[in-house]
Amino acid sequence: MNESPYGYWLPIDISTHGYQIDQLIALLHWFMGGLFVFWSAFFIYCLIRFRHREGHQASYRLISGKFSKVLEVGVIIVESVLLIGFSIPIWASLKHDFPDAKEALTVHIVAEQFSWNIHYPGRDGVFGKRDVQLTSPSNPLGLDRKDPYGKDDITSINVFHMVVNKPVIVHLSSKDVIHSFFIPVMRIKQDAIPGSSIPIWFEATQTGKFDIACAQLCGLGHYRMRGEVSIDTQEAFDQWMLQKESESEQASSEETHQ
């Protein structure tokens, strides 16, 4: 795993959409920092201005000034701009503006306590059937190798290979509890919910190996819920696929003879 991307501030950004997330985080911090400074100064002013002094009597009448109301309205306006002008457009671009599936790498990722199961379609580009009755330690996804579309499918555990500068569409689900698929350098975080298949997409801008984490506390073994995303060149990815295809064909042959 690379340790250099994770320092005292945000991890490096290697996602095509990451700058939007970082800009929003910066805006929120500046806004909250401004509020903190203002209200801290106002609090200190009140401590000094209304301190106990001989000959002064406290007044218990409610204030009737408009200054506080103006401040409250101003905060609401700024928060609305942050939400409507920045947050919702970013969310919409990631949730609705999906790339063309023909130009993207499509994978299924199934979370379980405590690992990430990655399922790639084979050369035919079609995912084979999965059957819960076929689930076993050696076949955690229950992939049916007898299915014509499943014979060339590729699976891996905790190692997610993708191609640099190529969109990736992930269909995310879970076998047991709620997990949260989190790749910090990609600015991606999405809950995996049992019984649901949730699509997300992203695109990397540089190669390397980085962490996959679970952002949910999914059990006592949660610390083991770590994986690796390997962002490869197209050539390196094709070589890895050829190697996995050979292993897949061998596994399919062994299951056929059993």
How does pLDDT run across 51-86, given as a tens digit for each residue?
888 888 877 877 766 777 887 888 888 888 888 888
Q: Please tell me whether residues 108 and 224 are part of one structural domain.
A: yes
Q: Which domain holds residue 143?
A: 101-257
CATH classification of the domain holding 251: 2.60.40.420
Cα–Cα distance, 181 to 227 (Å, whole number)? 10
Q: Please tell me whether residues 218 and 110 are part of one structural domain.
A: yes
Q: Please tell me whether residues 80 and 168 are part of one structural domain.
A: no
pLDDT bucket at 2, cuts 50 / 70 / 90: very low
Express each pLDDT in 187-206 by its tens digit: 999 999 999 999 999 999 99
Q: Please tell me whether residues 77 and 105 are part of one structural domain.
A: no
Q: Please tell me whether residues 218 and 238 are part of one structural domain.
A: yes
Residue 79 lies inside a defined structural domain of this protein: yes
Least confidently predicted of 4-8, 11-15, 92-96, 153-157: 4-8
Q: Please tell me whether residues 234 and 132 are part of one structural domain.
A: yes
Q: Please tell me whether residues 112 and 237 are part of one structural domain.
A: yes
Q: Which long-range contacts (CB under 8 A, 24 or more apart) does 236-244 make?
A: 237/161, 237/162, 237/163, 240/161, 241/120, 241/154, 244/120, 244/154, 244/156
Number of neighbouring beta carbons within 10 Å of residue 15: 20
pLDDT (average), residues 128-156? 87
Q: Please tell me whether residues 147 and 187 are part of one structural domain.
A: yes
Q: Please tell me whether residues 80 and 137 are part of one structural domain.
A: no
Strands (E), 53-136: 105-112, 115-120
Cα–Cα distance, 149 to 159 (Å, whole number)? 23
Express each pLDDT in 167-186 by its tens digit: 999 999 999 999 999 999 99
Cα–Cα distance, 188 to 202 (Å, whole number)? 8
Q: Where are the alpha helices (DSSP H) in the chain?
A: 18-49, 67-80, 88-95, 234-257
pLDDT (average), residues 149-172? 92
Report yes or no: 170 and 132 within 8 Å, Cβ to Cβ.
Answer: no
Residue 182, helix vs strand vs coil: strand
Whole-model pTM: value is 0.80
**pLDDT score for 255:** 58
Q: Please tell me whether residues 34 and 111 are part of one structural domain.
A: no
Cα–Cα distance, 28 to 185 (Å, whole number)? 20
Count of the separate structural domains present in the chain? 2
Residue 57 lies inside a defined structural domain of this protein: no
Q: Please tell me whether residues 129 and 243 are part of one structural domain.
A: yes
pLDDT averaged over every residue in the chain: 86
Residue 233 lies inside a defined structural domain of this protein: yes
Cα angle for residues 235, 236, 239 (degrees, 5° grid): 90
